[in-house]
Structure 1
Amino acid sequence: MSKSEILLKLADLLQADKLENVQALTHARVPIVKMMDPVTGIACDICINNLLAVVNTKLLRDYAQIDERLRQLAFIVKHWAKSRGVNETYKGTLSSYAYVLMCIHFLQQRTPAILPCLQELEATCVVTIDGTTCAYFDQVDRLRNFGVQNNESVARLLWGFFQYWAYYHDYANDVISVRTGRLISKQMKDWTRRIGNDRHLICIEDPFETSHDLGRVVDKYSIRILREEFERAADILQYDPNPSDSL
């Protein structure tokens, strides 16, 4: 059976078992079945044989073990994105994975840096999946004090994150690259023009599958919404004395 056939059969089984909002997205870049548990309200995506995602997840976990502020910042940003409706790739906004990479990039860029670039260090983890070599330094216990010289609080980092994406990121020219620990140019990636449905209006390089732009789904309409939401969040955090509810 093909992946699509398996996912369609799985969707039928889940639907029969009274799970809600069951959708088989068989034509997505990574085909999935979406569903929601009616008892807990927890939504879930199921994919098949997506081994690259396993390595991506390990990379995120290893970064999170270096400095607890990444985990805290990422949870807040993901909660904000879901609350504001800018966390659905099929609606032209960004995935949770993309937001976590944005957080890692932001913490790599702080002065002093809070996170290192694991792929620029000597590789201690090397895995090849479907011809893609995934290599990085995963002995993160040795990096626990990396960001100790930066004493910024999570609250200040959250404000800085939204400030960066609202007012300082160069959307026209820059690609964020966790793989290199810096910004690289759209010209270097040949992401300066639309090819098919890939628009490259906000560019987030996948750390392993480097030809994949996680922002490729964002169109002219949704990029405006995203930037307005970043500006709204930055302004609330700067001027509202009790910003949590309105954020």
Structure 2
Amino acid sequence: MASSFAVCRWTQIFVRRPGGETRTGREICSHQLPLQRENAPQGTHVVVEFANRESVASLLEEAAIPSISHEAVVPFKSRLLSLKKLGSLDSPNQQSGQQCKPQTSIPINELIKRLSREESIDQQVTSLTETYQLTEENSRLRFLVCSLLQDIAAAYFPECTIKPFGSSVNGFGKLGCDLDMILDLDGISGRKAKTPKGGLSLEYNLKRANSERAVTQSILSVIGECLDQFGPGCVGVQKILNARCPLLRFAHQPSGFQCDLTANNRVAIKSTELLYLYGELDPRVRFLVFTVRCWARAHGITSSIPGAWITNFSLTVMVLFFLQKRSPAIIPTLDHLKNLAGPADKSVIEGNDCTFVSDFSKIQLQSNTETLEQLLREFFEFYASFAFNKMSINIRKGKEQNKPEVTPLHIQNPFETSLNISKNVNATQLDRFVALCQESSWLLQQSETNTPSLHSKGGSPTPWGLATLLLPSQVGGIKSRKKRRLEPASVRIKSLLESLKKS
């Protein structure tokens, strides 16, 4: 099914005025994008939304396959278009009335300065979230990229869909985060058995494979080859087919997104829906997750590179678990959400019970009035003393359980309960996390860090509160809390400021 969106790369900015209206559509996003391949076509990319799909079809009828001297081109018709200079155009410096917000997050040093100007830690947490969360334009651009890739996959599977999951849509996405996508084949008609008529059944003649995993690997291999050879703007395609969850990894140059594409990963979709539900139940959930994630990335607790680090998903589950442990609890356990579910909510995927209520009106929350400052301080205190050596984190029950296996950090997968989502984390990384929690808890307890400071002579505010938590830690590791208490707070803050100047 054709989408009512198209992406155009203008050789010069061309949007007719007034009001940002063009002859065929409305620009909703226009910005320079960081193309990642040398000699890639430069220019401003514009996302144009049309009133209906017929308008897109009419536009595509006017498009031509370019003729490039001494080069062969793949004649693949995409909604990713280039507009060449034609006759009399508006001024190259003239843009439409609607400009989108920045599509990348600000540097950490700039964020620290911005947070230092706030008057309370609650305001700092709110400001951090509003600064780093996905913009509406960025979210819509992610859905558009899925739609463009679906056009390619539909050549093999006409009724398939490609849709985003994870941070792009669960409400916890940060500007610049990867675009996780799923190729959904379950919606293809004919997959559900039909009642035979007259004792006869009619079935499609299909290729057979040894397992569902082998089918997924074959499908992704073919789609990956197609993206690599024919997909406009898709570069650096990697086939990671032997992973626990086979995937394709590539960069989509026009949008600037790093993309991961999996197939039929329905449990991941349910996990995405669950995190979105939790984020909508209480605004403090989203604020705290954003803050803890930013803190973790600033200190190298999480990383975009696969390894022994704690993942964002694991960190988010740790925040949810902490909020379930408050007295009274801020969010309910997954088992409670399951008990509230109706017949339409029932979901069992590959033997895993993924059922939870979807009707928000059925969820009665307890009255908890703790501030964001209190929650942030208590979060660090909670995990600074958590018994990681013997206990497992479980948001289904909302309570600690004995570890079922010997591993530094054990966080039960909410739906695939036999799996540990933090199995990759080694003892060194867990020790760093605990030490940073101890230091952050100590910092938030100091009176000097809990009130805004006067501006320095240079006009820049002195970091305080949450801003001090984002400053680099000292060389040689984190000191113990006992030793920290022996060190005057003024000395500690001075050394933190010096480390900021050097960063």
Match of 2:307 in 1: 91
Residue deviations 1:99-127 (CA, integer Å, cap 9, x gap): 22111111110111111124233433210
**Match among 148, 152, 177 for residue 394 of structure 2:** 177
Give the alignment partner of residue 409 of structure 2, picking from 180, 184, 202: 202
Cα offset, 1:204, TM superposition:
0.7
Choose from 411, 420, 426 the match for 1:213: 420
| TM-score (normalizing by structure 1) | 0.81
Cα distance, 1:19–1:126 mapped onto 2, change above 3 Å: same
Residue deviations 1:135-165 (CA, integer Å, cap 9, x gap): 2333322336x14x21112232122222222
| Code of the aligned partner of 1:204 | I
Identity %: 26
Once residues 271 and 466 of structure 2 are traced to their aligned partners in structure 1, the CA distance between those partners, rounded to angstroms, is 33
Which whole-Å CA distance do the structure 2 matches of 1:24 and 1:227 have between them? 36
Which structure 2 residues correspond to residues 119-138 of structure 1 after superposition, within 5 A? 119-120=335-336, 121-124=339-342, 125-138=345-358
TM alignment of 1:91-110, pairs within 5 A:
91-110=307-326
1:244 to 2:451 alignment? no
Distance 1:221 1:55, change over 3 A: same
**Contact 2:408 / 2:425 at 8 angstroms: preserved in 1?**
yes
How many residue pairs align between the two structures? 234
Could you tell me whether the CA contact under 8 Å between 1:73 and 1:103 is conserved in 2?
Answer: yes
Whichever residue aligns with residue 109 of structure 1, its letter is K
Distance 1:214 1:172 in 2: 16
Q: Which has the higher helix share?
A: 1
What are structure 1's unaligned runs of at least 5 residues? 194-199
Judged with a 3 Å threshold, the aligned counterparts in structure 2 of structure 1 residues 105 and 246 are, in CA distance, closer, same or farther, namely closer
TM-score when normalising by structure 2: 0.42
Report the 3-state secondary structure (helix = DSSP H, G, I; strand = E; otherwise coil) of the residue aligned with 2:421. Answer: coil
Gaps of 5+ in 2: 1-213, 450-463, 471-503
**Among 285, 292, 299, the residue aligned to 1:70:** 285
- Mapped to 2, the partners of 1:170 and 1:208 lie a distance apart of 23
Distance 1:5 1:81, change over 3 A: farther
Pair 1:39–1:75, CA change in 2 (3 A):
farther
| Offset at residue 69 of structure 1 (A) | 0.9
Distance change >3 Å, CA 142–CA 87, structure 1 → 2 = same
Amino acid at match of 2:292: V
Q: Which secondary structure state, in structure 1, belongs to the residue aligned with residue 264 of structure 2?
A: coil
The residue that corresponds to 2:372 in the other structure is 154
Given candidates 357, 382, 390, the residue that maps to 1:164 is 382
How far apart, in 2, do the equivalents of 1:6 and 1:236 lie?
51
When Rg is computed on C-alpha atoms for both structures, the one with the higher figure is: 2
Verify: 1:33 aligned to 2:239, yes or no.
Answer: no
RMSD of equivalent CA atoms: 2.7
CA-to-aligned-CA distance 1:163-212 (integer Å, 9 cap, x gap): 222x22100111111101211111xxx22x3xxxxxx2111111111101
